[in-house]
Amino acid sequence: MTTAQHRIAQADIPAGSFVMGDRTGDGRAADGERPLHGVSLPAFGIDVHTVTNDDFAVFADATGYRTESEVFGYSAVFHLAFAGDEKDILGRPPQTPWWMGVAGADWRHPGGRHSTLEGLGDHPVVHVSWNDAQAYCAWAGRRLPTEAEWEYASRGGLEGARYPWGDDLMVDGAWNCNIWQGDFPATNTLEDGYLTTAPARHFAPNGYGLYQTVGNVWEWCQDWYDPGYYPVSPETSPTGPVSGQQRVLRGGSFLCHDSYCNRYRNSARSQNTPDSAMSNAGFRTVSLGA
């Protein structure tokens, strides 16, 4: 249910069972998308879209909360979205030089100190860490979805499908998610209309009424990440490993492309440390009664 503090509409996900994992063979073995395994879950309510900039602003303004990017003074920005001064570039990882550590980048300044949220109120909040998402949840009386809940909801009632809408990426010749088109990471042809984030309620929802569970932004889940978890995962309401160093991210983002990252799928898994933030990750929440 929504509250005065948390205003995002809810999708009621029915109790049921599904087969969790990569049925189509698209996943990378190192990510741990297999073996396929049955999971049963009780009914739960989940946000129909990710928490937006407007939603997060209500929380931040009410509490004075400062995200970890604001406290640290920097965050990770995709190079084509950079909006700062040259001196703000703190470095580029040699394995992924399209990412830049940028001083002054945070959720209110997603490209750097010269960017704003003008026109982005209904876009997903980004540059929020897992810890930041937890702080929002505590204020809103919510929690993050477990990895199993997230995948079950993302599938929208379609058993084993690659995407929330089926197995084919295009729908009637059109894009149904916000991912990269063109030559990654240099040229985006913008066939889906967006270089970075799209509005959180854009594109068609899945069978359960959820918007953009794949593409747009990665979504934090509650679980610790372990690529070897699936073989030992319980059948009923799995909650992930009891400990770890990284938290699960699901759904892919506007940067995903077959040439580099094909994780814009229901079963795809990724991870990052709980204090990490970047310009392509956000979150949605579930009700505490779930």
Helices (H) and strands (E) in the chain, counts: 4, 15
Instruction: Determine, yes or no, domain membership for 82.
Output: no
Residue 3: predicted pLDDT: 73
Q: Which residues partner with 271 through β-bridges?
A: 248
Whether residue 210 is contained in a domain is answered as yes
Q: Which residues of the chain have a pLDDT value below 50?
A: none
Four-point Cα dihedral 285, 286, 287, 290, nearest 10: -160
Q: What is the pLDDT of residue 163?
A: 98
Domain that holds residue 264: 10-49+121-287
CB 233 within 8 A of CB 39: yes
Per-residue pLDDT tens for 204-236?
A: 999 999 999 999 999 999 999 999 999 999 999
CATH of the domain at 131: 3.90.1580.10
Please say whether the beta carbons of 144 and 219 come within 8 A. Answer: no
How many structural domains compose the chain? 1
Distance of CA 13 to the CA centre of its chain: 19
Mean pLDDT of the chain: 97
Express each pLDDT in 31-69 by its tens digit. Answer: 999 999 999 999 999 999 999 999 999 999 999 999 999
Task: Indicate whether 5 belongs to any domain.
Answer: no
- Let me know if residue 106 belongs to a domain: no
Task: Tell me whether residue 264 is in a domain.
Answer: yes
213 within a domain of the structure (yes/no): yes
pLDDT value of residue 1: 61
Q: How many CA atoms lie within 13 A of 98 on its CB side?
A: 13
**What's the whole-model pTM score?**
0.97
Whether 70 is in a domain gets the answer no
